[in-house]
Structure 1
Amino acid sequence: MLYVVGIGAGSRDGMTIAAESAVKRSELIVGYTKYVELLRKHFPDKNYASTGMKQERERVEYALKEASEKNVSLICSGDPQLYGMAGLAYELSESFPNVEIEVVSGVTAAFSGGAVLGSPLTHDFAVISLSDLLTSKEKIRKRLECSAECDLTIVLYNPSSKSRADYLQKACDIVLKHRSADTVCGYVRNIGREGEESRILTLAELRDTAVDMFTTVYIGNSETKVIGGKMVTPRDYKNV
């Protein structure tokens, strides 16, 4: 059995009961190095195997091979479907017909980070990764443009890195063509982990803010507001 497990932000409190149960039933835990180290703190007696960034295919193939003989958990941060390994596991599973796959959902950063800020995702929203490793810059630009134009709240994953230091600034410039500079925005860094920090700010301020790969960014829609120091996107229940 291969469990493809979403471990949430990596803290024990952020894991679902189903995720914890799958890990406990597994003889081997496989994952990206950082996420393996997060989980090792909570389950020190398990056997672990890890690979670094850009070794996703090798990681999944290894997990499938090992799952031919034992129960294995292939762990992902957040939810394993959203930028995780669930899809790739199914794609590669044809070479391992005797392995059964079960996807175990987890709480993705969009929601766990949103809870830190307040309730920015009460209405329709878009989730977009600014990483262009697997998606072209043109597709990312188009998705930002369309999401901004139709007034969706936007959640940005992977907003910056050493090689993409200006990507968040460029994304804000695209959104600023359709939103006012004082649009309510927010970000959360290290969600649910040691050193968690958050801030609510305007779109103009966000444009000039330095973030990293462990930061999740929220750009509000035209109705998003600050209530009691929290970022809130209303859904107009008063009109129901």
Structure 2
Amino acid sequence: MARTSLPIVPESVHTVFAEEYRGLRPRAPMPALEIKFRRFTSLNTTIRLRDGQLIVRLSDLLESAPESVHRAIAHILLAKLYRKPIEPVFADRYRRYTQSEAVSRQAERIRKDRGRKVLTSPQGHLYDLDEVFESVNTRFFFGLLGRPTLTWSAHVAKRMLGHYDAAHNTIVVSRVFDRPGTPRYAIEYLLYHEMLHLKHPVTVRAGRRCVHSRAFQAEERLFPELEQARAFLRRL
């Protein structure tokens, strides 16, 4: 991922951060500010305090955001850093902007262009994801879903068990499943869930991203071994 910074950050952004700092810490000395926009692969924002200096890095996707959104970002980052309550109005403003249809599409395009997906193989020691996909596709989708790239994760992940990456049209499954003792219905349910994301893409309504729509949830409940599979995933 490229880390080249963009041109000088507008003074207005520095002013916004300084004003929000003063609002949160009215009696504290004002630290030096170093703010830069970076070519991140997503809407990343970071802040840290080093040697009395506040170092802020913002995604270049946020450079053209209105001042009100820059103010919301400043408030949220500073509040988190200094463990202050985040004002709901700022959280809502940031969420509405970043989850708007235009920004979401731009973020997905940038992530596809700049991001690099780590792929291993669909063939595991115990399960072949290609074979499981085709079996689930035939049973539940009449074989009509186009097969995305399928891959086992590079590492044994227990928090991110599986996910569908729309930007790269890829389903990644944690290697924690590719071992003796994993029931077939568990890996089938995990793929079934991610395949539903293919059928029911994320939508944005009134500034909110809808990842699991009512139609998605209704269809998910049709999986025969749903409760057994969820119980197995919880044990992981």
Structure with larger RCO (C-alpha < 8 A, sep 6+): 1
Structure number with larger C-alpha Rg:
2
Is TM more than 0.5 here? no
Structure ranking higher in helix proportion: 2
Q: TM-score, normalised by structure 1?
A: 0.25
Q: TM-score, normalised by structure 2?
A: 0.26
Structure ranking higher in strand proportion: 1
